[in-house]
Structure 1
């Protein structure tokens, strides 16, 4: 089983990276192969809205690190996507990535993944925020979950880590266990099939 982590934060070693890495650590402990991509290390340009990706077979005309991410997603069984919540929504880095996913959608908004592959594309969508109110951005989180479902991902869980103004996330021991259990359950679920 192959699981990739996408860390859509400008902070390479911040809370988002720690959260995604803990989920991946739990999966690795159960034998999964994992790979991480930190958006702070990648060159991903914004979508130009040119529709070239839907005119013929050339795909997106922008040649950047999105090609690397598309290839990794095509070969992964599960994706762990993490973003901090800034200004009531995902980070700018995450939004650029999401907009570039348009190339994986047809002009009729039918999904990119083939029928037999769609069920295999599981997604853990994780957010973190400084505010301790876990319901504060729930409508946005639900919207984002639905957006990934339209892209034909099977969204398994949406852990939201809150109250990060009260200390670094890595100091929360019970959270570390919970996140590793999410990663572990991804592998266990596949073994049961």
Structure 2
């Protein structure tokens, strides 16, 4: 099983990276192959809205590091998308990633929607400074629904709160819980090689 993490933050060693890496660690410990991408290491430009990706077979005409993610997605069973909440919604990096998915996945309401799209699984991992887990629930629910219209199966939506109160590295219970979620994503191979 292949699981890919996307850290939609410019902080390579920040809270979002910590969370995504713990989820991946749990998956790896249960036998998954994992890889991750961090926006701090990538040059990914916003969608131009040019529609070229749906006018021919060349895909997205923006040749940047998003091509690496498109390629990796072809072999990925589950994507873990780490989304810090800034100003009540996902980070700008998360929005750029989401918009650039249009080159491969049209929403159901789009005239380009293909009913035979491969359904991918996704974990939407949100984190916020505020301790109230329900504060941004309407936005988190909206984001989950949006990914469903892009033909993703939303597997889990962990929301890590209270990140303005001390270091995330000191929260041993959180480390354990995140690794457990990651481990739970791994489906045992039903036909192991003899």
TM-score (norm 2): 0.92
Measured after TM superposition, the shift of residue 18 of structure 1 is: 0.4
Task: State the aligned residue count.
Answer: 188
Residue pairs, 1:11-160, within 5 angstroms: 11-106=11-106, 107-108=110-111, 110=113, 114-115=116-117, 117-118=118-119, 121-160=120-159
Report deviation, 1:10. 1.1
Is the 1:104–1:111 contact (alpha carbons within 8 Å) kept by the matching residues of 2?
no
Instruction: Show CA shifts across 1:90-136 (max 9, x none).
Output: 11111111111111234425258x45x31xx2111101000011111
Distance 1:19 1:159 in 2: 10
> 1:40 deviation in Å?
1.0
For structure 1, the residue ranges without an aligned partner over 5 or more in a row are none
1:71 CA drift (Å): 0.9
Task: Give the Cα–Cα distance (whole angstroms) in 2 for the partners of residues 90 and 173 of structure 1.
Answer: 26
CA contact (8 A) 1:6 1:36 kept: yes
Instruction: Give the structure with the higher percent helix.
Output: 1
RMSD: 1.6
The answer on 1:174 being equivalent to 2:177 is no
Partners in 2 of 1:134 and 1:179 — Cα distance?
Answer: 16
Which runs of 5 or more residues in structure 2 are unaligned?
Answer: none
What SS does structure 1 have at the residue aligned with 2:164?
A: helix
With normalisation by structure 1, the TM-score equals: 0.92
Distance in 1, Cα, partners of 2:151 & 2:57: 21
